[in-house]
Amino acid sequence: MHRFFIPPSHSLQPSETLTLPDKLAHQVRDVLRLAIGEALILLDNSGDEIICSVMKSSRAGVEVTIQERRAGQRESAVQIILCQGLLKSARFELILEKGTELGVTAFVPTLCRRSMAGLEDAGPSKLQRWQRILQEATEQCGRSRVPTLSPIRPLMHTLNDIPSDALALMPWEEEHGVNLRTTLQEQSPKPQTIVLFIGPEGGLMAEEVALAKRHGVQSVSLGPRILRAETAAIAAIANVMYELEA
């Protein structure tokens, strides 16, 4: 079934009817051409899936009837907070999309020493675009909550805000003694919150890694090859989910 986010409102319950917002109505009526009686899933970012069927469809609007409200099935118990060093827009947007598909809970765009100049001033239109990418990726992959997107923050601020119960990891190409997989396998009990720090293009500077270590972050290796920042982010997220997700 097609999945769409709607603005949060009151808790919609079975047998209620809802008039879809104009933009969504256009998509249902004119793009997908859903017929009367066809089903769709609405999401209000509560974590629930709202199963509906089309009751009326005309130029005046589209109305649906709520059939069932159920808990979403595809959210992970593992919470991944990705503190991503700022990249060129296209690469950062790839991380937003693929990170959402892989299960990231929160994205924290992070200003590092080697972040490209100017990206820290992303305006409202850029932030709206990033939010739209997150929503569309969430709809596509079957999740029921859109990951949170924090404002752009300096590395020091993200380090100061590491949750006390989290395992904080920083993949770094100069780390040769400890790898990510071994670090995750050695955790007992398994952590429920992982904070990943991924550097920008050009990587993290040694001083930044040293600063992170003073805040309790462990540097880890992702293997013998040098990865692009976006590849490192996707690889690290996938490895965490493989090792820790039930």
What residue ranges do the domains of the chain occupy? 3-71, 79-244
pLDDT of residue 117: 59
Query: What is the C-alpha separation between 215 and 235, in angstroms, rounded?
Result: 24
- Residue whose tokens read 């293997």: 223
Residue 121 has a pLDDT of 63
Which tens digit of pLDDT belongs to each residue from 9-53? 667 888 889 999 999 999 999 999 999 999 999 999 988 999 999
* pLDDT, tens digit, 9 for 90 and up, residues 172-226: 999 998 999 999 999 989 999 999 999 998 899 999 999 999 999 999 999 999 9
End-to-end CA distance of the chain: 26
Question: What is residue 10's predicted lDDT score, i.e. its pLDDT?
Answer: 65
Query: What three-state secondary structure class fits 148?
Result: strand
Fold of 79-244: Alpha/beta knot (3.40.1280)
Sheet strands (E) in the chain: 3-5, 17-19, 39-43, 48-58, 61-71, 79-85, 106-111, 148-149, 153-154, 167-171, 193-198, 218-220
Q: In this structure, which amino acid lies at residue 25?
A: A
The percentage of the chain sitting over the pLDDT mark of 70, rounded to a whole number, equals 96
CB 185 within 8 A of CB 214: no
Cα-Cα-Cα-Cα torsion 189, 169, 245, 106, nearest 10 degrees, comes to 120
Residue 82 confidence (pLDDT) above 70: yes
Report the chain's mean pLDDT, rounded to a whole number. 91
pLDDT of residue 238 exceeding 80: yes
Work out the angle at residue 136's Cα, subtended by the Cα atoms of residues 5 and 157, and round it to the nearest 5 degrees: 100
User: In the predicted model, is pLDDT for residue 169 greater than 90?
Assistant: yes
Inform me whether the pLDDT recorded for 89 exceeds 90: no
Residue 182 tokens read as 């071994």
Task: Say if CB 47 and CB 25 are below 8 A apart.
Answer: no
Q: Which CATH architecture has domain 3-71?
A: Beta Barrel (2.40)
Q: What is the rounded average pLDDT of the residues 159-169? A: 95
CB count within 10 Å of CB 138 equals 22
Distance (Å, whole) CA 131 – CA 128: 5
Q: What is the pLDDT of residue 114?
A: 82
pLDDT of residue 118: 58
Q: Cβ of 104: how many Cβ atoms within 10 Å?
A: 27
Q: For residue 81, what pLDDT is reported? A: 98
Nearest to 3 by CA among 58, 74, 60: 74
Query: Cα separation of 210 and 137, whole Å?
Result: 35
Instruction: For residue range 90-149, list pLDDT tens digits in order.
Output: 899 999 999 999 999 999 999 998 886 555 666 778 888 999 999 999 999 999 999 999
